[in-house]
Amino acid sequence: MKFKLNINKIINATLILLFPIECIGCNKEDAYLCDKCFLTIPLHEKVEPFEHPLQYVDEIWTATDYQNNLVQTAIHHLKFRHIKELAQPLSRLLIEFYDNATRPATDDSRFATRDLRYSIIPVPLNKKRLLERDFNQSELIGKLFSDYFGFELLADAVKRTRNTPHQVGLNKKQRQTNLKDAFIITKPDLIKNENIILIDDVVTTGSTLEEIAKALKENGAQRVMGLIAAKD
């Protein structure tokens, strides 16, 4: 056991030597996204209008824009270089946005519900991609968000029924067809009468959120909101 632990330490030390922890913005060492760079990311100050019509999701809240270089790099490195530590600054975007927007002084009626309790559901990955990546980035972000506000994280309440192809390059209609009935509710008891926040890293047309919200509402969920780090 002790020996195994030391081996892990050696592997970690080697990895850090080979790939030192440095900020994706300024290359300063010790953090993947330093505080100074994080604070340059402009947060949405209010609910940005969502240009695609929504049928099942009540609102989509986005913390910032995907066009921001740091945001784009952070999401890319988390998903494709598997730097899980980047879930932390990405969840911080959601936490700060939600905290600002639900401040009691806000006059936006959509947020006049600071005391409303939500259950948090991360958008699930399909099995194939979960095997490739070994983690769901939305779940990492959702866990940090839930812990901060004391909301319940329902990580396995929704599952994908099949491996849907990538949505990239598809138009809205094709995305809808691609996703039709792609989600099932595995724990309907936990959904019934609940207010839900769906968490994801990026939103484009909202088709994925819509398809999940449809399944949730068919199972008796009340409000279904989307809270997304970056709007594409």
Give the nearer residue to Zn ion in terms of CB position, either 37 or 41: 37
C-alpha distances out from residue 67 to 46, 202, 229, 230, Å? 18, 11, 12, 8
Give the nearer residue to Zn ion in terms of CB position, either 43 or 54: 43
CB of 29 to Zn ion, least distance (A): 10
CB of 39 to Zn ion, least distance (A): 10
Give the nearer residue to Zn ion in terms of CB position, either 64 or 208: 64
User: Segment contacting Zn ion (CB under 5 A): 27-35, 156-164, 179-187, 223-231?
Assistant: 27-35
Residue 229 contacts Zn ion per CB under 5 A: no
Residue 48's H or E segment, with its range, is: none
Give the nearer residue to Zn ion in terms of CB position, either 25 or 206: 25
Q: Which residues, 6+ apart, have CB-to-CB distance to 17 below 8 Å? A: none
Residue 74 contacts Zn ion per CB under 5 A: no
What 106-111 contacts at long range (C-beta under 8 Å, 24+ apart), as own/partner pairs, is 108/46, 108/47, 110/47, 110/59, 111/47
CB of 74 to Zn ion, least distance (A): 11
What six digits make up the tokens of 193? 């009468």
Could you give the angle at the alpha carbon of 75 between the alpha carbons of 74 and 78, nearest 5°?
85
CB of 96 to Zn ion, least distance (A): 17
CB of 124 to Zn ion, least distance (A): 32
User: Segment contacting Zn ion (CB under 5 A): 30-38, 75-83, 195-203, 222-230?
Assistant: 30-38
What six digits make up the tokens of 96? 């700060």
User: Segment contacting Zn ion (CB under 5 A): 24-32, 66-74, 150-158, 203-211?
Assistant: 24-32
CB of 28 to Zn ion, least distance (A): 5
Residue 26 contacts Zn ion per CB under 5 A: yes
Residue 25 contacts Zn ion per CB under 5 A: yes
Distance CA 124, CA 232 (A): 19
Q: Residue 170 — φ and ψ, nearest 5°?
A: -95, 145
Q: Which amino acid is at 197?
A: I
Residue 37 contacts Zn ion per CB under 5 A: yes
CB of 215 to Zn ion, least distance (A): 40
Contacting Zn ion (CB under 5 A), which of 32, 34, 157, 191?
34
Burial (Cβ within 10 Å: 0-12, 13-18, ≥19) of residue 102: middle
Distance CA 150, CA 173 (A): 37
Q: Which residues bind Zn ion (CB under 5 A)?
A: 23, 25-26, 34, 37
